[in-house]
Structure 1
Amino acid sequence: MKRRMGKPLILMLKAIGVIVIAIALFLVIVFIVHIVCNKFEQGKIDIYGQPVTVDGKDMNVFIQGEGKETIVLLPGYGTAAPALDFKPLIDELSPFYKVVVIEPFGYGLSDLTEKERSTENIVSEIHEALQQLHIERYILMGHSISGLYGLDYVNKYPDEVSAFVGLDSSVPTISEKKIDSSIIRTIKLLKNSGLARLQVKLSDDPYAELPYDEKTKEQLKILKHKNMYNPSQLNEAEMMYENFKAAKNLSFPKNLPVIFFIQANHPITDRWVPEHQKQIKDSVHGKVMTFEGDHYLYRTKAQEIVEHFRAYMDQIK
């Protein structure tokens, strides 16, 4: 009887051993591929823009156009390469404006930083970059989370910002949830093990059907792997709840022109349009425009955004 029971048990243990070895081998292969790809991709990055020294580190800035007025573009959270991602919008804006794209620390070709990613620090660093470039007067245009940073920015530097444009920008009243430190540790493990790279590889390509040339698409993919879940961006994610909380009592200056270009049908909340309308209820020149599209409206609606923006600016002059 014991012999009969022992044989199935041995077979089961062998099967478990085979599975464990297979999983371990799979993880080793994923890790090695990740390391090799990282080294290979580093050599394929095309340098764009120009570095400016901020807080002793290099912050990358991309400039296109020679218009009399300047537009400063700020990215949404986790954008791999803002200067490349904003390309459809930059190309539509640059015949009329000088367009300056700021790549915050941890984004695009900018350095990482160990400094806390509080709104105060992020805003101060953006301002320092513009000071280094001797840009003293500009329109601030921000996507997603930069709506939150922009709200703080226009209150800190009211004499420099001539207008604010929100591109499906965040509002303090629709806050992000607090991220537990255990989640951050798990994300770090996924990044370092190469599993995050594998996840991206198996997912749909977000740029496949978008108006970017093949070279730009390749660079966007490379920089996504480079910057995804890096320490600066993870710290920004950890700080997000507190940053939203700190912005709840802020409002746009009454006389500052503010226009929001936002998606008409938010996939998660029905408060998206009403909360943006509340943000400009006391503004002399406040306006909300909705589009059928997703969170990255500037990728597919760039021409319409620029046409409506220029008409808006002409109207308030």
Structure 2
Amino acid sequence: MEIREVHKVELDTTTDKKPASSMKKWLRNLLKGLAIVVIAIVVFIAVVFFVDLFSSKSEQAKLLPYGQSVTVDGKYMNVSTHGEGEETIVLLPGYGTAAPALDFKPLIEQLSPFYKVVVIEPFGYGLSDLTDKERSTENIVSEIHDVLQSLQIDRYILMGHSISGIYGLDYVNKYPSEVSAFVGLDSSVPTLKEQKIGSSILGTLNLLKKTGFARLQLKIGDDPYAELPYDDQTKEQLKILIHKNIYNANQLNEAGNMYANFEAAEHLTFPKALPVMFFIQANHPVTDRWIPEHEKQIKDSVHGKMVLFEADHYLYRTHSTEIVENLRTFMEQVKQDK
């Protein structure tokens, strides 16, 4: 009888288990890492949101009121008046200027010894309320006129910065008997259109506002007033109002309407008999048509003049003395020619 030895063969499975075990461990670590990142992002967003919330409340308590409130369409529009001159100048801001009455301060200080200066802060600007009405040229111009009617101001020089060149062009054609002259401070020209701003961009800016990231954006950016001749209190108030008004509903709506507002003004020209004076930056950073297009606007004017400055877009902050000197000489010449 033959006896065979039976050897029990055991399969070595260790080589199969190790990769599977390592893979599971790697996945667990990856998920933990992702969870930590997600939690960190959520915490960061929460910190930004609550810092903005608490800072806004703190700043609101430090905000110093100025000017007077005028009722328009059931809302309050803020107006700041300076000087007691016989002639009145109505000052209108450029797009997004957080606090026009404070931002125009260097210019107001130079104008007020000679003119009565009225600074209008449109809805969504400065201390003015927000409105539900579209920020079309038609509505903006009508609201400005309503303010002046309420204040019983019926004869004035209209002076506007940037986008107010578009609103001002419409304004002088609608109320020609009230405006004695138009002065543009690097004012916009209808033929040089702004690009359309899509709803996705506006939605993103609105989200930045609501989450508090707009404040963070301002924090890491440059302070536009740091090197300018504003006193410390004014700089502090400007900063508070920048935080308050940046990307608010009215300013976003105005941005969304900007292309249409430019198009609506394309066919408009300044009345031939209306004195028009432009203060323009000599070297525009984007277009070489800036000076020629302004020249076209005054080519048919009986009294038209353009003064160039080596300055940026906010030239009234640094060249207010020269602006007032040139304006007074220009208006005196206009009176002599009549």
Normalising to structure 1: TM-score of the pair? 0.99
Aligned match for 2:213, one of 180, 195, 202? 195
Of 91, 97, 113, the match for 2:131: 113
Q: Alignment partner for residue 211 of structure 1, among 226, 229, 232? A: 229
* 1:61-117 Cα distance to aligned partner (Å, 9 max, x none): 000000000000000001100000000000000000000000001110111100111
SS of residue in 2 equivalent to 1:43: helix
Equivalent position amino acid for 2:209 in 1? K
d(CA) in 2 for partners of 1:16, 1:189? 24
Bigger mean CA deviation after superposition, 3-12 or 248-257: 3-12
How far off is 1:301 after superposition? Answer: 0.6
**How many angstroms apart in 2 are the aligned matches of 1:232 and 1:248?**
23
Distance, in Å, in 2 between the alignment partners of 1:155 and 1:12 is 67
Which residue is 2:109 aligned to? 91
The corresponding residue for 2:5 is: none
In the other structure, the counterpart of 1:40 is 58
The structure 2 residue matched to 1:275, chosen from 293, 296, 313, is: 293
Q: Equivalent residue for 2:81?
A: 63
Question: 2:43 & 2:248 partners in 1: Cα distance?
Answer: 26
Question: What letter matches 2:145 in structure 1?
Answer: H
Q: Give 1:186's aligned residue.
A: 204
- Higher Cα Rg, which structure: 2
Per the alignment, in what secondary structure is the counterpart of residue 62 of structure 2?
coil
Query: What do residues 8-53 of structure 1 show as CA deviations (whole Å, max 9, x unaligned)?
Result: 2222222121111111100000001011111111111100000111
Gapped runs of 5+ residues in structure 2?
1-18
Q: Distance in 1 between matches of 2:270 and 2:173?
A: 7
State the alpha-carbon separation in 2 of the partners of residues 179 and 128 from structure 1: 29
Identity %: 71
Deviation at 1:136, TM superposition (A): 0.7
Cross-structure match for 2:309 = 291
1:3 positional shift: 1.3
Query: Alpha-carbon deviation of 1:55?
Result: 1.3
Moved more, 216-225 or 180-189: 180-189
Counterpart CA distance in 2 for 1:13 and 1:300 is 56
Q: Distance in 2 between matches of 1:54 and 1:13?
A: 57
For residues 168 and 315 of structure 1, the distance between their equivalents in structure 2, rounded to whole angstroms, comes to 22
Alpha-carbon separation, structure 2, partners of 1:55 and 1:193: 30
Structure 1 runs (4+) greater than 4 angstroms displaced: none
- 5+ unaligned residues in a row in structure 1: which ranges? none
In structure 2, how many angstroms separate the alpha carbons of the residues matched to 1:305 and 1:9? Answer: 68
Q: Within 1, Cα distance between the matches of 2:269 and 2:81?
A: 29
The equivalences for 1:1-317 within 5 A come to 1-317=19-335
CA–CA distance in 1 between the matches of 2:231 and 2:306?
31
- Inter-partner Cα distance in structure 2 for 1:185 and 1:84: 29
Structure 2 CA distance, aligned partners of 1:117 and 1:26?
A: 35
Q: Distance in 1 between matches of 2:34 and 2:284?
A: 46
TM-aligned CA deviation for residue 5 of structure 1? 2.3
- How far apart, CA to CA, are the structure 1 residues paired with 2:251 and 2:22? 57
SS in 1 for 2:77: strand
The TM-score with structure 2 as length reference comes to: 0.93
Shift of 1:212: 0.4
Distance in 1 (CA, whole Å) between partners of 2:150 and 2:303 is 30
Could you give the per-residue CA deviations for residues 251-296 of structure 1, whole angstroms, max 9, x where no partner exists?
Answer: 0000100010011111111111111011111111111111011100
RMSD between superposed Cα atoms in Å: 0.7
SS of 1:99's equivalent in the other structure is strand
Q: Secondary structure at the match of 1:39?
A: helix
How many residue pairs are counted as aligned between the two chains?
Answer: 317
